[in-house]
């Protein structure tokens, strides 16, 4: 089955969060998805986002595999007395991706819309591709405020962005009530929210620039439900958390997305 698309390649990005505990486990996890990613490379973009300590080792494994490497956060200043921070400048040149505005950064570490906007602008300014996360809390979802909350977060992040930056921007809709809970959003709800996201992108950047921005779903995505999301007309892939920590599960997700887009599976690529 082929999803109705506007020409965007799907993206599967694995956010490992603060996992795994050891460098050897990080290497094993990366190796476990490279084969599936290579087999689907004509159809699906794949990126891995390890914790900062494992970036260098994973980068060596991913070299010339076509799998992108990303960091889970960055700071907006290029250098200075900011103990514990890692700047976008430091990541540029060897990372291709960076995550900004993840719900855990917003909720646990208190990052404001202004901070997320600064980080996004700084990362794009040094040539990184940014996966910007937006999403609502459970009580906001129950109150029917999803579009309001998500649109506000997105508008704040786009305030200092030019249409020319749009090719480096990806938006991940991650309902906070679905992060790590096993309770994924209904595809109909995801579609309605992505439609609101697309509307804000069109209004802020213009239709042409907006069309270059991919929209992902994030929130308890796995191999069993990923197809129901990437089949949505406005969904261009998934930001994957817990499922990306199991190599066989993430590899299967890559295969499912390739199948939806009409690309070869791992088995087909191996035997062709």
For residues 78-100, one letter each, b for 16 or more C-beta atoms within 10 angstroms of the residue's C-beta and e for the rest, the string is: eeeeeeeebbbbbbbeebbbbbb
d(Cα 50, Cα 243) in Å, to the nearest integer? 14
> Which of 218, 224, 255, 220 has its CA nearest to residue 237?
218
Q: 268 an active-site residue?
A: no
Domain boundaries, the chain: 11-271
Q: How far apart are CA 23 and CA 60, in angstroms?
A: 12
Rounded CA gap, 40 and 251, in Å? 10
Give pLDDT tens digits along the chain (272 positions).
334 444 589 999 999 999 999 999 999 999 999 999 999 999 999 999 999 999 999 999 999 999 999 999 999 999 999 999 999 999 998 999 999 999 999 999 999 999 999 999 999 999 999 999 999 999 999 999 999 999 999 999 998 899 999 999 999 999 998 877 777 789 999 999 999 999 999 999 999 999 999 999 999 999 999 999 999 999 999 999 999 999 999 999 999 999 999 876 555 555 54
The reported pLDDT for the residue numbered 265 is 56
Cβ-contact 170, 130 below 8 angstroms: yes
- The DSSP secondary-structure symbol of 218 reads E
Would you say domain 11-271 falls under CATH 3.30.70.260?
no
Task: Considering the candidates 104, 174, 255, 259, report the single residue annotated as catalytic.
Answer: 174
User: What is the C-alpha to C-alpha distance for residues 43 and 176, in angstroms, rounded to an integer?
Assistant: 29
User: Residue 268's CB: how many other CB atoms inside 10 A?
Assistant: 13
Q: What is the CA radius of gyration of the chain?
A: 17
Pair of tokens at residue 238:
């998934």
For residue 95, give the DSSP letter: B
Q: Return the bridge partners of 60, or none.
A: none
- By C-alpha distance, which of 182, 171, 98, 103 is closest to 135? 103
Q: What is the pLDDT of residue 267?
A: 55
């Amino acid at each position: 089955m082929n999803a109705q698309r506007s020409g965007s390649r799907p993206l599967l990005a694995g956010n490992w969060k603060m996992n795994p505990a050891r460098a050897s486990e990080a290497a094993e996890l990366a190796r476990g998805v490279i084969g599936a990613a290579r087999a689907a490379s004509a159809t699906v973009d794949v990126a891995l986002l390890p914790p900062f300590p494992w970036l260098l080792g994973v980068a060596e494994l991913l070299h010339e595999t076509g799998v992108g490497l990303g960091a889970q956060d960055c700071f907006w200043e290029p250098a200075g007395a900011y103990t514990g921070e890692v700047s976008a400048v430091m990541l540029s040149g060897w990372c291709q991706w960076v995550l900004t505005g993840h719900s855990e950064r917003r909720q646990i570490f208190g990052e404001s819309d202004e901070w997320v906007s600064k980080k996004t602008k700084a990362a794009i300014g040094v040539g990184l591709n940014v996966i910007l996360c937006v999403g609502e809390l459970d009580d906001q979802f129950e109150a029917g405020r999803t579009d309001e909350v998500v649109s506000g977060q997105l508008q704040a992040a786009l305030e200092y962005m030019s249409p020319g930056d749009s090719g480096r921007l990806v938006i991940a809709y991650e309902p906070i009530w679905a992060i790590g809970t096993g309770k994924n959003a209904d595809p109909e709800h995801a579609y309605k929210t992505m439609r609101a996201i697309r509307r804000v992108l069109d209004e802020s950047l213009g239709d042409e620039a907006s069309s270059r921005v991919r929209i992902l779903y994030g929130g308890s995505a796995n191999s069993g439900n990923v197809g129901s999301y990437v089949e949505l007309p406005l969904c261009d892939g998934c930001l994957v958390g817990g499922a990306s920590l199991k190599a066989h599960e993430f590899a299967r997700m890559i295969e499912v997305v390739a199948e939806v887009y009409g690309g070869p599976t791992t088995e087909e690529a191996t035997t062709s």
